[in-house]
Chains A and B, each alone.
Chain A
C-alpha cells in the first residue's frame, strides 16, 4: 500500500513501532522542559477529561451531578528510525491523577524521575509508583539555580532508592544532559532485563 508522503524520511513506515518513556516528578520540577530539550517537535499537549461521578443525583431530572476535571499531558517525539518512534510523556504534576498514571505506565519502557533538591518529597509519589509497578527508572536531580549543591549520592540516600537505581545530576534545559539521562535509563533497563532473566524462577 502506498502513502502519499511515505518517502519523507521522518514519516514512520507501516511497520513502525511506538515506544514510550515517562518523565515524572512533582509540580514544576522541569518535566515539560526536559521533554522539550530532546524532542524533535515542540512538546505537544493533549488532554483527558475525567468525569467524577457519584456526586448527588438530581431526583427531579435524574441527571447525575458530575464534575469534569481536565488533565493535561505533554509529550515529545524522537524518531529513531522509520520503524521505531520514541515518545516522551511528561506525567501530570499532581499525583491525584492516578488514573492517568496507570495508562501512562502501561507498556512504558521506563521513566526518568526528576528530583528538585529544594523540595525532594515532591518526587516521592512518582518513585513509589514506579517501584510498585516495577517500571525501571532513573533519578535526574535537576540543579535549579540557587539550590544548594548536592552530590548525587546524598540525594540517593535522602530518596532511599535501591543501590541499583542510577541517580544523576542534570539540567532539564540542556539537550546533552537529557540525552545522557536517557542513555543511562536505557542502559539501566537493559541491565534490569539481564538481571531478571538470570534470576532463578519462582516466587
Chain B
C-alpha cells in the first residue's frame, strides 16, 4: 500500500540540517526531521503538572494525526518553536511522528492516481 512509502518514528531520526534560532532565549535545534507536513500524533495522556504549559498546549492539539504546520497555526507559534516543542515531546515518548516525504523518492503512480481521483471528486 502506498502508505508504506515511509514510516512512523519515535526514535532519534538524525539531526535537522538547519538549526533554528529560537525565541525565548532557547537556542536548541529541533532534533528530529520535522517538515511542515510531517504528521504527528499524541501517544498517551499526561497527568496534570507533568508537562509545562507550552508542551501541554502542543500535545493537546495532536490527539489525531496532524501536520506540524497545522499545529503551529493552531497554537499561533512560529514553526521553528513548534518543531522544538514537538521534538521534546517525541524524545519523551509523548508523541510519534511520521517521517516526511523523502525528497528523492517520487510519489508512486498509485498515490498520484488517488490524489487525482480525489481532486476530481471535489
Contact = CB atoms under 8 A, between A and B. Distances in A.
B79 A107 contact: no
B119 interface: yes
A78 interface: yes
B80 A49 contact: yes
B80 A186 contact: no
A87 B67 contact: yes
Interface in B74-111: 74, 78-80, 98, 100-103, 106-107, 109, 111
A137 interface: no
B122 interface: yes
Interface residues of B, number: 47
Given A106-B103, A107-B102, A47 B119 contact: no
Interface stretch (A2-10, A111-119, A142-150, A151-159): A2-10
Contacts, number: 145
Contact of B70 (A44, A104, A175): A44
B5 interface: yes
Contact of B114 (A66, A84, A103): A84
Interface string B54-66: 0000000001111
A13 B65 CA distance: 7
Contact of B35 (A73, A99, A106): A106
Interface residues of A, number: 54
Given A19-B107, A49-B78, A103-B35, A175 B73 contact: no
Interface string A1-27: 101111010011111111110000000
Nearest to B101: A107
B37 interface: yes
B64 A84 contact: no
B9 to A, nearest CB: 13
A48 B119 contact: no
Given A78-B122, A84-B114, A109-B115, A47 B67 contact: no
A53 to B, nearest CB: 8
B3 A16 contact: yes
Interface of A: 1, 3-6, 8, 11-20, 38, 44-49, 51, 53, 66, 70, 73, 75, 77-78, 80-81, 83-87, 89, 99, 103-104, 106-107, 109, 175, 179, 182-183, 186-187, 189-190, 193
Given A4-B63, A107-B101, A193-B112, 6 more contacts: A44-B69, A49-B23, A75-B73, A84-B118, A86-B115, A86-B119
25 contacts: A4-B63, A12-B39, A12-B64, A12-B65, A14-B41, A17-B3, A17-B5, A17-B101, A18-B37, A47-B78, A47-B79, A73-B36, A75-B36, A77-B70, A80-B118, A81-B114, A81-B118, A84-B2, A86-B118, A87-B37, A89-B36, A103-B36, A106-B103, A109-B112, A193-B109
Leading 3 A-B pairs by shortest Cβ distance? A80-B118, A107-B101, A44-B73
